[in-house]
Amino acid sequence: MRQGPSSLARPYPRWHGLVILAVFLGFASFSAFAQNGLRYIHQERSLYRNILVTEDSQRRCLRFTITSTIGQNQSCQYLDRPEEFVFPYARMTLSSLLVQDNPERILIVGLGGGTLSAAYSTLFPNAEIVISEIDDAVFRVARDYFDFQETEQVKVLVGDARVHVKRAGLRGEKFDLVILDAFNGEYIPEHLMTAEFLEEVKALLPENGMVVANTFSTSRLYAAESNTYREVFGEFYNIRMSGTGNRVIVASRQALPDQQTLEDRAPALRERLARFGMNILEFPKLLSTEVTWDTSQRILTDQYSPANLLNN
């Protein structure tokens, strides 16, 4: 629309430039996706983050973003073979079955596209799986775009995992396996990284219970996170694979099996896990208790959890 002299002379509101920048960045992100053969399937702004679903000729992905326009993939699914894992971290997570198999009650913190819950439901159809997801929009997107379904055995609790864990502990609930896989678009929520939270998680574990945490191998908080888990659980397995920025921590209330035991257990799992695109025989050597971090770094607590370091 053509504007008259009076409207052109009127100063723009202060937010006008931000709107123009947002539009520009939006077009830029669309262009970037188009150049890579990606297209938007869905996008929305939830209470906690921007949620994007993208698709190309091979896979559909869920992305979370807070400050960037494109964000990082949180969960992906191959279109022609949805059971097969796209990301190494999911394979690393399932390799924890070498430590403890056949869990009857499982708590998963963070739903994403439902990749892990689907795998554990397939492997252990009689297990009770409780998923704590803070964002109702993520729950809806997982259901509408990634075939996630609640069942009699698989239930979602929408709300803060810190609250859910605390209340479960007060009720005396126990979970054989707790998987920590929460991500807000930039990092793990800081209140889910502290020693106090991990102590609350530990209280949910029976004598042979296990916690598996998906975190990062290149973070500036790598040493602090490691020292925090070691403070709460003692020795743990630190699983890392070349070519990925993820690492998976496996800690247990019972003594960790030695390398030979891990290798002896792997063949029995090979056929069961092959459907997810993984060869479990490759993983025993990756489950390492070697300390590869600065042990002098301060542990993370509710009073000291400097997530701001990640942005410096």
Report which of 26, 55, 51, 52 is spatially closest to residue 39, judged by C-alpha positions: 55
Let me know whether 186 and 45 are in one domain: no
Residue 6: how many other CB atoms lie within 10 Å:
7
In angstroms, the CA 294 to CA 1 distance is 62
Could you tell me if residue 129 is inside a domain?
yes
Let me know whether 54 and 182 are in one domain: no
Sign of CA dihedral 34, 40, 45, 48: negative
Report which of 229, 270, 268 is spatially closest to residue 250, judged by C-alpha positions: 229
**Active-site choice (56, 101, 135, 181):** 181
pLDDT tens sequence for the chain (312 residues): 333 333 333 333 444 444 434 434 444 444 444 446 789 999 999 999 899 999 999 999 999 986 655 567 889 999 999 999 999 999 999 999 999 999 999 999 999 999 999 999 999 999 999 999 999 999 999 999 999 999 999 999 999 999 999 999 999 999 999 999 998 878 899 999 999 999 999 999 999 999 999 999 988 999 999 999 999 999 999 999 988 889 999 999 999 999 999 999 999 999 999 999 999 999 999 999 999 999 999 999 999 988 766 654
Could you tell me if residue 49 is inside a domain?
yes
Could you tell me if residue 83 is inside a domain?
no
Structural domain ending residue among the three candidates 29, 57, 78: 78
Cα 172 to chain centroid distance, Å, stands at 26
Let me know whether 113 and 136 are in one domain: yes
In angstroms, the CA 230 to CA 292 distance is 12
Structural domain ending residue among the three candidates 25, 53, 78: 78
User: Structural domain of residue 170, as residue ranges?
Assistant: 88-311
Let me know whether 74 and 206 are in one domain: no
Domain of 135, CATH number, reads 3.40.50.150
- What was the pLDDT predicted at 65? 81
Let me know whether 66 and 135 are in one domain: no
Let me know whether 127 and 204 are in one domain: yes
Structural domain ending residue among the three candidates 43, 78, 113: 78
Could you tell me if residue 19 is inside a domain?
yes
Could you tell me if residue 279 is inside a domain?
yes
Could you tell me if residue 71 is inside a domain?
yes
Could you tell me if residue 224 is inside a domain?
yes
Torsion (CA) 29, 246, 88, 131 in degrees, nearest 10: -90
Could you tell me if residue 5 is inside a domain?
no
Look at the pTM and tell me if it is higher than 0.85: yes
- The yes-or-no answer on residue 294 being catalytic is no
- What was the pLDDT predicted at 16? 44
